[in-house]
Structure 1
């Protein structure tokens, strides 16, 4: 009996929602995101979408980039077609390397440095290792910060199975002209006995993407363990080694793009990243304590040692550094080394009264970051090398938070006020000059969420929260009028679930941003563009018609008005933000075969604050086109016998070979960055 109940709880333990209590019942923890499954969305007091495992594996997704674009309000600039370096923006909040999205893996910060380097210039996740994705666009700021203006994206790893299981899978993506990308994944794990569970994963992605100079090799190894210390206590452990190399094809001039969008004129551009990541999560059920009906103590520890480096070819012609039409005569590289660790204890308490039930969550976090940042330049004609920047960052930050969920009217109305305090201390030293600077910042960040279950079918919500984004390493290095960014978020919405087969959501939001920082590709610096306002509507619906067994439909729409509020560009659009987004997808199960079709549309956007309507000669400014992209996949179990399952699938991405581009992506900010064209993906997976 003990083994069965612990095993049943295992997947939820790993996700952080449940622990196994002494009385052999499941006890809800203080993790407000729960286990990140679609059922939890129905009563979440904010905008939220969960991408299920079925949608990930059968929805025609080459990478996590493809999957995330099904979520209203999320926009991806797919630079590589391999998922190595995602460019994720939420509600028009864009920054290089997904710098304005709070990205977690199993609830633990995934970024290189949660305060000083929030951009994902190292993304230690591969598609094959993820079970589902939880995109929380509102209502989580008190517990998950900083950098949560656009919300939180939580990537959930494949859980340790209840019984020992192994998996071998191989997938290949064919881009044409001999450019193929191979993805090999191995997994084995399960419960060894009542008390111990173990899982080992190995994933290699190797080959070429759709353009010249696009060779990639990624190796991702991870081992996780679960120890049920006793019936009240669990310990989850994780260690990961990740290594990546990618040649970067870069942007093209308009003329080169028109001639051949699959070519590359950037032979010196590439990327290397390495990380060793570790974490431990201790969970203790405390039972009843006096007037407290139940309590739980959770302690999370995480850390990593990482380095990453970009090599970039540049022109020495004054004012033409990034002109893609000019040959490179300088190669610049920017090695960075990170040593980061953090710890976060949390106590949750349930207090049940005659008329009012409450849940208190009290927590804190301390993070230490040591970042070495260099910039080196080599002149190709002479091979002379110079260190142009040598910086050291020593950041220490701590936060405390408290929230109190008060449940009224027979628990149909939940009002949750909360407060987060952030202290950020960032110390910078220029090793070349000896000059040092300290930039402390203290901020009180209140939040309030309200959820009301009006009827079993109707759920209403509203939330408001204040969010912080500290000044980033790159902003400081490149100069400009930069400081910490602050924003107020407001949301209200309704969910309607008349039957188990229908779910509808409509939400309104507004983000009032103070001192938003934007990258200016012309001057290669970060500028404070001042106040901005992001407001809009998000609609989403799921429908499984009872009359057509096996049919599942999903559609979403997002309208975004992202506007600069002061300065010379007041009234103009915030760069990179598309006003309209449409997403549609559906799947049909027929005689053991699943047919899936998905599509997404984004309207045009601008790459500069001035909203320059015509592309200039260098491609530094100008509009970016609107685009529709469609993907399709056919999946089928080819063989079944007991617990052994062999699955195969065939997918086509960018079905109609839509021709479109991006602009302003990090190390290649001028010109046109081609988006992936049509590709074919075939794969098989054996579980036994």
Structure 2
């Protein structure tokens, strides 16, 4: 690979150009990929925007709870707080959100989107001001994951006038949260500074231990806008953003046996006492927007993200879970801390760097009597993940009926294996061209073509000094990805839409040499309706995978039980229906009743037996719920007060491909779950508002995940109260 970008990349990326005076709201549009709900309705494909006002109704800080409000999106819970989300779109696979293009303010945010797309970093959702979900052909404007969809998280924008907000919240389990920001704008400068801090003792208890199971997470963000006078003949604008976050969470991969889950879903085994995740992240972004005239604009973005983490956690205890579930009393006693046990705790230590330079040009013109909105984009990106992961051996010693942990040895002294001492790198050039054609007043057609050229390398070392290479693997991927979408406006507020595109998800660097990427052809067809206070949507989708690829990890092992590299399942198909309907009823005395419901049906299966026989034709896809539904209803009196109820349902999911072969699947399925949340707020003054919420009102806890090592619950009933003050 070429030498990585220097740290001076951001300074070199700022381009000066001439531009007529424009309203500065246009610069804010550059931080989004869709815009508002009206813009989403105009796209040639499925798209949704969850606005700041909608986020404010339920006061969610777990992105999973917001994901269920968008049709076609599904998730697998893990820790109850959404610290490391598992989000999938249209059957793409949800493990660590690795098959979804994740962005913040339009910039790739996964620690290493090409070399290691698993989202072990995720920004604190409580500081977000909006969420955009894009599916269908327009997805080809982004990447590298272009199979299921893309999600863009909007951070707090620079305000148009001096203003700020402080939101404080307390909850059960000694939970505390504060979100504060302040910003201002003048004609030629604007800024915002922000912090979001959240901590909790956690809702789980470790057997025979007084250690907490919660987390402490802090985010800091600063943005600066510089521009020439709006009245000048020449206009420049530069947006700069810096963010920093750190997290210490006492999370584990070790779940529970079904018997212990039934007895108390909120317990943890003593062997997980030392488990914790320690992370730090720095992000830098510079974006320059230029409008050469009313029809031509140029945008240049440079970015760099640095992320380091060490998830110190018990390893290899999943087999004890399996044995105990099968009736092994010795395995059960070891897990419960009732007898001695020797096991490893691994330093899952990784350092990531992700950086790139992105250029986009937009041109509006008239050709052949039709209006064209042509966009050309190109991006150079490189990222890497450096793993140096020593393993410590402990013994669980039981004395006088209580367990303790005794350190035994470390591979730092004896030498670590090459699988725990490796560097994975990726270099990618991607380009796209899109042409949105207004054929007439009713018909709009968008054609797209994307090209991805990716080179990845994995190097494993057999010694700690990294002087001896144990193994090196290289993969080169070059793919053309075409797409076309169309909308047709009928009378009465009805819009028909349809599209088809070729999508791709790259294989990981640790895969065998020259492994093929995941490739699918994706179709959608449906209609939207919007009139007054009513909106509705019904879309059918079908994805035909010529090569289905799983990215293997300890968190989400592949179907062949591999925990590194990629595994090709062969051909598969996913099909389904997305439906949404919403209306705001107006009552007397200024009361209104907003109601919105969505439902997603998904059916997916393997359509060709894998070469090694590990998956068979007709096998199900993993962690893919057949039904996901959500209903949100409220009662509101202007800005004075409001109350909302949200009911979410997620169907049971298979955790492996053999789940539906007719054998006993007791331990290979999660449980279906219905959760009811309540929230309300009351205006104390024109600038201050009190709010309260109860998550999981009926305290219904089910097995929402079984991977990697045992059963896990959702968040129990939890009450919150807080105050939000504008100034």
Structures share a fold, TM > 0.5?
yes
Alpha-carbon distance in 1 for matches of 2:223, 2:71: 33
1:223, CA displacement in angstroms?
0.5
Matched, 1:581 2:628: yes
Alpha-carbon distance in 1 for matches of 2:283, 2:238: 17
- CA change 1:673–1:524 in 2 (3 A) is farther
> Can you list the C-alpha shifts for 1:54-106, whole angstroms capped at 9, x where unaligned?
22111252422211111122222222222321111222322421111111111
> Can you list the C-alpha shifts for 1:534-587, whole angstroms capped at 9, x where unaligned?
111111011012456421110111111111111143223211111112111012
Alpha-carbon distance in 1 for matches of 2:285, 2:574: 35
Alpha-carbon distance in 2 for matches of 1:259, 1:207: 24
- CA change 1:314–1:34 in 2 (3 A) is closer
Alpha-carbon distance in 2 for matches of 1:322, 1:472: 31
Q: Which residue of 1 aligns with 2:642?
A: 594
Alpha-carbon distance in 2 for matches of 1:464, 1:194: 44
Contact kept in structure 1, 2:256 and 2:321, CA below 8 Å: no
- CA change 1:480–1:360 in 2 (3 A) is closer
Q: Which residue of 1 aligns with 2:365?
A: 351
1:524, CA displacement in angstroms?
4.2
Q: Which residue of 1 aligns with 2:713?
A: 674
1:299, CA displacement in angstroms?
0.5
- CA change 1:321–1:233 in 2 (3 A) is farther
The equivalent position to 1:523 in structure 2, one of 561, 564, 571, is: 561
- CA change 1:682–1:614 in 2 (3 A) is farther
- CA change 1:134–1:615 in 2 (3 A) is farther
Contact kept in structure 1, 2:619 and 2:660, CA below 8 Å: no
Matched, 1:490 2:523: yes
Alpha-carbon distance in 2 for matches of 1:527, 1:553: 43
The equivalent position to 1:561 in structure 2, one of 593, 603, 625, is: 603
Q: Which residue of 1 aligns with 2:678?
A: 632
Matched, 1:211 2:204: yes
Q: Which residue of 2 aligns with 1:15?
A: none
Gaps of 5+ in 2: 1-17, 206-211, 325-330, 336-341, 396-407, 463-467, 551-556, 610-614
Q: Which residue of 1 aligns with 2:538?
A: 506
> Can you list the C-alpha shifts for 1:288-326, whole angstroms capped at 9, x where unaligned?
6xxxxx100110111111111212213489898998844
> Can you list the C-alpha shifts for 1:217-270, whole angstroms capped at 9, x where unaligned?
111011001111354321111001110111115411112212211111122322
> Can you list the C-alpha shifts for 1:339-365, whole angstroms capped at 9, x where unaligned?
221011111111125731111111100
Q: Which residue of 2 aligns with 1:310?
A: 311
Q: Following superposition of structure 1 onto structure 2, how do residues 265-284 of structure 1 map, counting pairs within 5 Å?
A: 265=269, 266-284=272-290
Q: Which residue of 2 aligns with 1:122?
A: 121
Alpha-carbon distance in 1 for matches of 2:228, 2:663: 63
1:139, CA displacement in angstroms?
2.8
> Can you list the C-alpha shifts for 1:129-156, whole angstroms capped at 9, x where unaligned?
2111111122322210111211111111
Alpha-carbon distance in 1 for matches of 2:679, 2:355: 41
Contact kept in structure 2, 1:445 and 1:467, CA below 8 Å: yes
- CA change 1:631–1:431 in 2 (3 A) is same
Q: Which residue of 2 aligns with 1:238?
A: 241
Matched, 1:407 2:433: no
- CA change 1:104–1:488 in 2 (3 A) is same
- CA change 1:54–1:317 in 2 (3 A) is closer
1:280, CA displacement in angstroms?
0.8
Give the TM-score of the pair, scaled to structure 2: 0.84
1:634, CA displacement in angstroms?
0.8
Q: CA RMSD in A?
A: 2.7
Q: Secondary structure at the match of 1:71?
A: coil
Gaps of 5+ in 1: 1-18, 289-293
Contact kept in structure 1, 2:245 and 2:282, CA below 8 Å: yes
Q: Which residue of 2 aligns with 1:384?
A: 410
Answer with 481-490 or 198-207: which moved more. Answer: 481-490
Alpha-carbon distance in 2 for matches of 1:624, 1:257: 12
Q: Which residue of 2 aligns with 1:398?
A: 429
Q: Secondary structure at the match of 1:624?
A: coil
The equivalent position to 1:372 in structure 2, one of 383, 386, 400, is: 386
The equivalent position to 1:623 in structure 2, one of 658, 663, 669, is: 669
Matched, 1:342 2:356: yes
Q: Secondary structure at the match of 1:22?
A: coil
Contact kept in structure 1, 2:503 and 2:520, CA below 8 Å: yes
Q: Which residue of 1 aligns with 2:137?
A: 139
Contact kept in structure 2, 1:207 and 1:217, CA below 8 Å: yes
Alpha-carbon distance in 2 for matches of 1:502, 1:536: 24
Q: Secondary structure at the match of 2:129?
A: strand
- CA change 1:543–1:458 in 2 (3 A) is same
> Can you list the C-alpha shifts for 1:629-671, whole angstroms capped at 9, x where unaligned?
111101111112xxxx111111011111112113344xxx132
- CA change 1:130–1:681 in 2 (3 A) is same
- CA change 1:103–1:51 in 2 (3 A) is same
- CA change 1:32–1:564 in 2 (3 A) is farther
Contact kept in structure 2, 1:481 and 1:528, CA below 8 Å: no
Alpha-carbon distance in 2 for matches of 1:542, 1:686: 30
Q: Which residue of 2 aligns with 1:188?
A: 182
Q: Following superposition of structure 1 onto structure 2, how do residues 28-177 of structure 1 map, counting pairs within 5 Å?
A: 36-59=35-58, 61-123=60-122, 125-174=123-172
Give the TM-score of the pair, scaled to structure 1: 0.88
1:606, CA displacement in angstroms?
0.7
Answer with 568-577 or 650-659: which moved more. Answer: 568-577
- CA change 1:358–1:504 in 2 (3 A) is same
1:418, CA displacement in angstroms?
1.4
Matched, 1:421 2:421: no
Alpha-carbon distance in 1 for matches of 2:619, 2:424: 35
Q: Secondary structure at the match of 2:157?
A: coil
- CA change 1:649–1:20 in 2 (3 A) is farther
Contact kept in structure 2, 1:301 and 1:344, CA below 8 Å: yes
> Can you list the C-alpha shifts for 1:13-46, whole angstroms capped at 9, x where unaligned?
xxxxxx9942769879996965521221221211
Contact kept in structure 2, 1:60 and 1:631, CA below 8 Å: no
